A and B are shown apart, each in its own frame.
Chain A
Amino acid sequence: MNPFAHIGKFVVTRADGAGYVCDLLLRTLAYLPRLRRRIRFCLDTAFNAGVRSLPVTLVVAAFAGAILAMQTGIELRRFGDTAVLGTITALSMCREMGPFITGVILAATVGSSIAAELGTMQVSDEVAALEVMSVDPVDYLVLPRVVALAVMCPILTVLSNLIGIYGGSVIAEHNLGVTGPLYWASAKEALTSSGMLLPKEVYVGLLKSVIFGTAIATVSCAAGLRASGGALGVGLAVQTAVRNSVILIIVLGFVVTWFFYFLAG
């Protein structure tokens, strides 16, 4: 094939996929007033998402916090300034690491499962069956999943932040000679020094996690609903869902940080 035609086809396919995801998100938001009718399914999905990803999220967050404290502590020890280790670990976890870790784990566990579930429904005509019953799959299948992940992602992020900071405290105390009270005092000071209800580090992190949850669910639902061609198509849908979710988590994380810390001050 002509290389320009190949590039053109690639761009058109990607643009079509991005357009489908944006359209799906807008249609889902338009159905928000009907959420009450789907609340039971939404709670089921939120519960399953939380239970399925909680253990792995906590383990990864604990080690991420420990690694963060270890790497930072090694450099701080050279300057004899390990007293700020709690501050750095707490801020890094809340601003970036907590939402990022939670988002990636949700994409891998819940996002893949959503894509597989909806993909299987698509290739076995269950989605078409909803359409012929005049039930919009966006209302019935997508809305509860998007809301469930938008709610669960920040909840898991808070737990992830706490466990990550705790992981850092273990390293600080046992390997870097920072006492527990000093570490926790500096972490607490960093997260309560603002005059607002929530310090900026916390609310920006939570906003990120709401955006990540929404993006993961929408992208995964889109991949599932566009699946075709039997088991192979479902496999590709799962692959697409996880890949696009992780890319979006990184890009959106950058955009939100840039907006709050550089554009809006």
Chain B
Amino acid sequence: MTTDTAYIRDTFVPAKPAPGRTGGPILWLRTNLFATPTDSILTVLGVVFLLWAVPPIYNFIIGQAVFPGGTVEDCRVEGAGACWAYIHARFNFFIYGFYPIDQYWRPNTVFVLGAALILPLLIPSAPFKRINAVLFFLVFPVISFYLLSGGVFGLPYVPTEQWGGLLVTLIISLVGIICSIPLGILLALGRQSDLPIIKTLCVMFIELWRAVPLITVLFMASIMLPLFMPTGTNVDKLLRALVGVTLFASAYLAEVVRGGLQALPRGQYEAGASLGLSYWKRTSFIILPQAIKHVIPGIVNNFIALFKDTSLVSIVGIFDLLNTVQAASSDIDWASPTQAVTGYVFAAFMFWIFCFAMSRYSLWMEHRLDTGHKR
């Protein structure tokens, strides 16, 4: 019998060993780390780098470090790592600066109150948003100011020169962030305006502040300003820095928001207008919610930069977190070879905590608001 089939196998295919496991660490290593010769070389180099870099860092931060309970003599030993005992001993200074020790409950109350008000504001499902917002944005600043500076209700007066540390860093960044949002949005809207005077003023303001480095603004506020004003008028140094930082941040924010406004199709404006909505209604109900959603990453980027920029106020003699760390590194009671480095590592860690939290929150917010524009 003949068939059309050209080839018929007449023997069995020889048995092959069972395929390697489709999972497991070996396979993972193969596919991820040693897939090609280039990958293998890079992997080896990477491991060598880690072996070279990690142990000294580990030794410095944990292995050879002196933990609370240790003394300055322990820190002075040759080869000692980070002197955490010193951070522990001066911790209050890093948080409160020169705030009188017996009055620490006041900044503490502000911290707790702030956290209690801001957390529900950040959690979308928490109730009473409107009251909460009024409390946080209007009542909280007033209470905090009187609580911190005192001079009323029998609280001893604490001048702003004595505020310091993390307290001041948070005050400057919170005030900067919160005040720059409305200012920045108004400036961005103004820049898009058809009214020539408003438009020119906004453009001039934005371009002026963006053209000057923050450090110059702070220097100007703290050195030149007092010389222009009649002797005796004394604007608080912290207030000067706050105003400088806020105006500076608002100019940048305005440009970010403008980016969002430009990303909106013209139809959105026209649709709003055709519904008979006024400019402000159109802007606040249709344009801004969409525009701002677009630029959340940019806005948060600005805020993180602002938070870190607050450390620049140290050059005008305000004791923010970084400056207290710097000042304490001249503390002779804890003088040791690693004193300054330990302080800076601590400051970096504190800054990292806040910046990382902000960036995570914004990422989460972005996902939450991501309605219909997913790419």
Partners in one complex: no
Which chain A residues have a beta carbon within 8 Å of chain B's beta carbons?
none
Which chain B residues have a beta carbon within 8 Å of chain A's beta carbons?
none
